[in-house]
Amino acid sequence: MTTSDWRSRKKAETRRAIQEHALRLFDEKGYEATTVEDIAAAAGVSHMTFFRYFPRKEEVVEYDDYDPMITEVIAARPPEEPPLEALHGAIRSAIEAILPIDGPTILARTRLILRTPALRNRSWIAQQETVVVFATALARRSGAATPDFATTVQASAVLGVMNVVLTTWAESDDADLLGLIDDAFAALQQVSFTVA
């Protein structure tokens, strides 16, 4: 039991160390100019260990472990809430919880992704995976095991919204992320009514 704990803590630390050094180096020298060997050396491990944790170089940027949390938070929303409100609320609480700790990291990462063509690829994939996560969580809330077309459409729309939110946030110097989220969801709500 303690073994497990100890081991997984150690692993999480190694993973984190690699990721941190990677992001720092990417920031300093650029993504393409930073080799896996550089990162491994900086993190004090071998390239083998790097690839054990991140099978492809790009994954070191993309990786986070927010999915289970967000799933939980969405599932916890009252079932009578309409999907938009549920997702809004869930994203809001999740970000609120994450921001104080991981805020700078996320900001740096978002900027890096926006700056680096090779990473936007994976970003898209990650986004598609998040669509599934969101849609599944929504489906669960209403008792279904797997998401249907409508649910997936809604989840994808919200991800589209969040895209703009994060991009805007990353490109500005001191925007208020929570405020942007609220504004964005308001804009989405208005899409069927007022003339933009």
Partner DNA sequence: ACTAGCGGGACCTCCCGTTCAT
Partner DNA sequence: ATGAACGGGAGGTCCCGCTAGT
Nearest distance, CB of residue 22 and DNA, angstroms: 10
What is the C-alpha separation between 29 and 41, in angstroms, rounded? Answer: 15
Cβ partners under 8 Å of residue 94, min gap 6: 66, 69, 70, 73
Q: Which is nearer to DNA, 118 or 186 (CB)?
A: 118
What is the C-alpha separation between 49 and 144, in angstroms, rounded? Answer: 40
120 binds DNA, rule: CB under 7 A: no
Nearest distance, CB of residue 102 and a second copy, angstroms: 23
- The DSSP letter of residue 147 is -
| # binding residues, DNA (CB under 7 A) | 26
Residues 46-85 that bind DNA (CB under 7 A): 46-49, 51-53, 55-58
What is the C-alpha separation between 128 and 136, in angstroms, rounded? Answer: 12
117 binds DNA, rule: CB under 7 A: no
76 binds a second copy, rule: CB under 8 A: no
Q: Which is nearer to a second copy, 40 or 158 (CB)?
A: 158
CB atoms within 10 A of CB 143: 7
189 binds a second copy, rule: CB under 8 A: yes
Name the token pair of 45. 């491990």
161 binds a second copy, rule: CB under 8 A: yes
29 binds DNA, rule: CB under 7 A: no
Q: Which long-range contacts (CB under 8 A, 24 or more apart) does 46-52 make?
A: 49/14, 49/18, 50/18
Residue carrying structure tokens 């073994």: 3
| Residues of the shown chain interacting with DNA in the complex, contacts defined by CB under 7 A | 2-3, 6-8, 10-11, 14, 33-37, 44-49, 51-53, 55-58
Which residues of this protein are in contact with a second copy, per CB under 8 A?
79-85, 117-118, 120-121, 123-125, 127-128, 131, 138-139, 141-142, 149-154, 156-161, 163-165, 168, 180, 183-184, 186-196
